Chains A and B, each alone.
Chain A
Amino acid sequence: MDPRKSENEGNLDPDQSGLIYQMALDIGGSLAKLVYFTYDEDCAIEGKDGMSPEKAVAKSKGSKSCAVLRGKLNFKIFETSKINDCLEFIKSVKLRLGGCQRQENPGSQAIAVKATGGGAYKYTDLFKERLGINLDKEDEMDCLVAGANFLLKAVHQEAYTYMGGQKQFMDVDHNDLYPYLLVSIGSGVSMIKVEGDGKFERVSGTSIGGGTFWGLGKLLTKCKNFDELLELSYQGNNRVIDMLVGDIYGGTDYSKIGLSSTTIASSFGKVISNDKEIEDYKAEDIARSLLRMISNNIGQISYLNALRFGLKRIFFGGFFIRSHPFTMDTISVAVNFWSKGEAKALFLQHEGFLGAMGAFMSSDQHELKKLLENKAVHQQASSIKACAIAGDLHGDESIECCVYSV
């Protein structure tokens, strides 16, 4: 059950990685997320150019308690507007992927890759023409939920709360996971009531999401990318731009209605009264105001929806969060504030890859899954257990994982 020791350098460069075994894509409005599985070298000892899973399983049959399949789940993101980078990357790993497939299917048919998100539809032709890859489309919500369910169950301490700058990791009891509200913050925001595996409903959402932060931020600050904008927000002071309760009530708390003087009364509200141009404001301050506005709003709407359906847990996912402390803090504070402390915001380590993970898991021709099913027949029980590598997990990352039998 123990996870493999971590290899921090990850598997970013396909040349250094093991075999690419399976890949799935989630192409959203802003970002394309890629999840792929590579074997560990020691599992693929018999041939660099590809050992079939069956062989790997066969190899491991001798040792009963040993994992049957070891490898890494790798996570990678690209900007959707630079979809070519993504294509190039896949192209570079395609040989191995193809090689693997070709062994199985000498007919050299087009390769099918699971994909979800709007881009799976939009870029179908592009993938076909450029890479000969058939994007096998999976429903976005299905994937999101499947990905979240998988990660919450399979990954040790996938969920955590974030209050006052502290991450508090927690394991969720599998039997007490449902129902929960899954808030996926991508370009836009979807709010999904999840009641079980494959049992869910999109109950709400908002168009004010990561795309809004980035889009407005780009227009207002001339920042070139999302991370830069986030970085800026660290150094900003939203008081310059936001109208606070204290600004209205002369610095005294308006405690009668439960507002402190630092509560934001109106995001960007101070801009009205100042006779300043956009150039007169610091980009840092703008980024900060924007981030607080959007995070707070998402926290509030999420809480209201959780309340509405009596859901005690709210999990936040999606690329917008990126383990960004300030974002998480604002969302946590919002949920805490609006629920008067009754609800807590929970975050996921792999928040950005829920959809891609779900797509990865969705394949019914999934060799990995086949294996698992086989094992299940033989061994009664099996599962994938994966463990996250500690540390910052945005952008490119990987999880050591192994398929093992109990």
Chain B
Amino acid sequence: MEGQKEFVQIDPNDLFPYLLVNIGSGVSMLKVDGDGKFERVSGTNVGGGTYWGLGRLLTKCKSFDELLELTQKGDNRAIDMLVGDIYGGMDYSKIGLSASTIASSFGKAISEKKELEDYRPEDISLSLLRMISYNIGQISYLNALRFGLKRIFFGGFFIRGHAYTMDTISFAVQFWSKGTAQAMFLRHEGFLGAFGAFMSYEKHGLDDLMVHQLVERFPMGAPYTGGKIHGPPLGDLNEKISWMEKFLQKGTEITAPVPMIPPGTTGLGGFEVPLSKGSTLRPDASALNVGVLHLVPTLEVFPLLADPKMYEPNTIDLSDHNELEYWFTILSEHLPDLVDKAVASEGGTDDAKRRGDAFARAFSAHLARLMEEPAAYGKLGLANLLEMREECLREFQFVDAYRSIKQRENEASLAVLPDLLMELDSMDEETRLLALIEGVLAANIFDWGSRACVDLYHQGTIIEIYRMSRNKMQRPWRVDNFDDFKERMLGTGDRKPTPHRRALLFVDNSGADVVLGMLPLARELLRRGTEVVLVANSLPALNDVTAIELPDIVAEAAKHCDILRRAAEAGDLLVDAMISPSNSSKESSTSVPLMVVENGCGSPCIDLRQVSSELAAAAKDADLIILEGMGRALHTNLNARFNCDALKLAMVKNQRLAEKLVKGKIYDCICKYEPAN
């Protein structure tokens, strides 16, 4: 139009119509025919509320997550009546029911002289979960069938990224549809709220809802099944595409139509471990290509982005084949070490090893596919690649591969923190600010994502490496705007600038990085009257610290530091008053608050078009952003512009990246300060 070409979506028609199944307390099923065109066609009153409600009555669990967690160790055979129980261990093969098919959920409770107390809560929870999930899957499938819909999207809090519920629902759909329907999953909790908004659809069309909040994920099994990767199906959502893999279709084909275990999942929660034929992959390239569509309705565009439309998170463009090859090599080389860590994090059991193998195979397969066809999943950036690795780990139930390493390093770092703080406090303001920035850069060397740094670890203790690293900090750094930053902070001569109102600190790694680097910097800002918000990952990625872990770390640090303690109290981080039991009044909390928010992602990188609404809300009052670490300040966002002051700090722990980005060398430092314009 008028000489301008509008970008045209290639095949938006591929999406509609589909069935949207929202599993909240109850279950709603909507037939979606197009943007804003939908109809509630069905539903069931047996939903997440039933699971949680019955589960609570039966197990005394205090939270939904706790209840769900129990299923992992459950064995539903204790309570469910299986076909084998009725047939004396035999299959009812004539109609294709194997001995392990559930004939009657909770049916075994009838005949046994047992009280509720005699059953394990784990078993009860698993029976409940399977009962409800299978039922939802079945009714969804029947409704999809009724309207001739090939895709079913599942969302709502019951799913909430829980592999167990997704597995069982997905299996039910596969089972009942004999592989002709696709189960896809939407992420997650906020969808319920979004659904509420949707209810008042005069205001919010589903269209709006989806454009902002859907994140397409891809099936991990796709390279194996030979099936087509479905993506990106969401019309306008190209730019919002990120990664996930789901349900490696590994192991044996389902021959018996029995809700046993989805092929490729891994003996979870008392599921029968399938007898996979060695490691042979599913031979039949069936039409079924289970994908995962995560609805992340809490995700919003980071409000401080100067130009969201022009924003491109990725610094490295992987459309350059050499670049791509290099990073693939890096990731491939790092893979064995990662698998070891992941397997060890799950206790090194046979099951963990099996999953580790599956993860390695699946991830390699994706890499190989991307090498062949870089655009296979849409536009490819380094951030996507790194995120894919994390998602892939989670798919194979490696919840947190670096859990124990992170703990160890946090403890070691917290042990030396008081000494460091004392040292810092003895300095004058100017020296201290420099020392703090040096400290952040030096501590950033502790990074399990960097091959070079992993090698370093074998050569000394944390504090030794930290000091060595800090001593090597020779200014000027490769990118060095420290003086500008200092001027903004301390002013020149007698002119004292007003301190920032609120600073968002995007933290990176656990251990020394956050404890010896970012916490002291946060403390300095607090001392100057700036509110501090520590922004951390929602989900684990490598050894990155998560928002769940941070309060404990802060609490521990606060034991040795009044500034941190008062700020943490003011920010409600120390709710239990575990630090100062004598002092329950708010009057000592004259400090500005120190807070923690999750960023909404589980990747070493961050795409600022998709952050948690919590972070978006926290950002509204912020006038300083500090991005720290390679993932968040180099791989992504190095070139991002903000409406407020921004400081990007990182040590470049990769030779190639150093050459490429800053024409420097490994261990060069970046201190990029950009004042608001």
Contacts and interface: CB of A to CB of B under 8 A. Distances in A.
Q: Are A and B a genuine interacting pair, yes or no?
A: yes
Interface of A: 28-30, 79-81, 117-119, 121-124, 139-141, 186-188, 202, 204, 206-212, 214-216, 218-220, 222, 241-243, 248, 254, 257-258, 263-272, 277-278, 281, 286, 293, 296-297, 300-301, 304-305, 307-308, 338
Contacts of B81: 29, 187-188, 211, 215
Nearest to A122: B88
Given A219-B58, A307-B146, A212 B105 contact: yes
B53 A271 contact: yes
A7 to B, nearest CB: 33
Interface residues of B, number: 57
Given A206-B138, A214-B107, A220-B116, 15 more contacts: A28-B86, A30-B111, A81-B112, A123-B88, A140-B92, A204-B138, A208-B105, A209-B104, A215-B81, A215-B110, A242-B45, A263-B45, A264-B26, A265-B49, A278-B116
Given A122-B88, A207-B80, A271 B57 contact: yes
B53 A188 contact: no
Contacts of A139: 94
A166 B193 CA distance: 42
Contacts of B80: 207
B145 A267 contact: no
Contact of A266 (B45, B116, B131): B45
Given A122-B86, A266-B47, A278-B57, A215 B79 contact: yes
A216 B106 contact: yes
Contacts, number: 202
Contacts of B57: 220, 268, 271, 278, 281, 286
8 contacts: A187-B103, A187-B104, A188-B81, A204-B142, A241-B53, A265-B49, A269-B53, A271-B54
A284 to B, nearest CB: 15
Interface in B115-145: 115-116, 119, 124, 131, 134-135, 138-139, 142-143, 145
Interface string B56-69: 11101000000000
Interface in B3-53: 24-26, 40, 42, 44-50, 52-53
B135 A293 contact: no
B44 A272 contact: no
Nearest to B96: A202
A266 B53 contact: yes
Contacts of A204: 138, 142, 176
A301 to B, nearest CB: 6
Q: From A80, A204, A304, name the one whose CB has the most chain B CB atoms within 10 angstroms.
A: A304
A212 B44 CA distance: 17
B321 to A, nearest CB: 50
A272 B79 CA distance: 23
B519 interface: no
Contacts of B539: none
Contact of B48 (A187, A220, A266): A266
Contact of B111 (A81, A222, A243): A81
A267 B49 contact: yes
A266 B26 contact: yes
A242 B46 CA distance: 10
B301 to A, nearest CB: 30
A266 B49 contact: yes
B45 A264 contact: yes
B90 interface: yes
Contacts of B56: 271-272
B365 interface: no
Contacts of B480: none
A215 B107 contact: yes
B85 A269 contact: no
Contacts of B52: 271-272
Contact of A219 (B24, B87, B109): B109
Pick the 4 closest A-B CB pairs, nearest first: A118-B86, A211-B107, A269-B49, A211-B104
Contact of B50 (A81, A218, A220, A267): A267
B25 A141 contact: no
B605 interface: no
Nearest to A304: B142
Contact of A308 (B26, B94, B145): B145
Contacts of A241: 53
Nearest to B64: A272
Contact of A300 (B53, B87, B103, B139): B139
A265 B53 CA distance: 13
A124 B90 CA distance: 13
A80 B26 contact: no
Given A121-B88, A219-B116, A304-B139, A211 B53 contact: no
A280 B164 CA distance: 31
A275 to B, nearest CB: 10
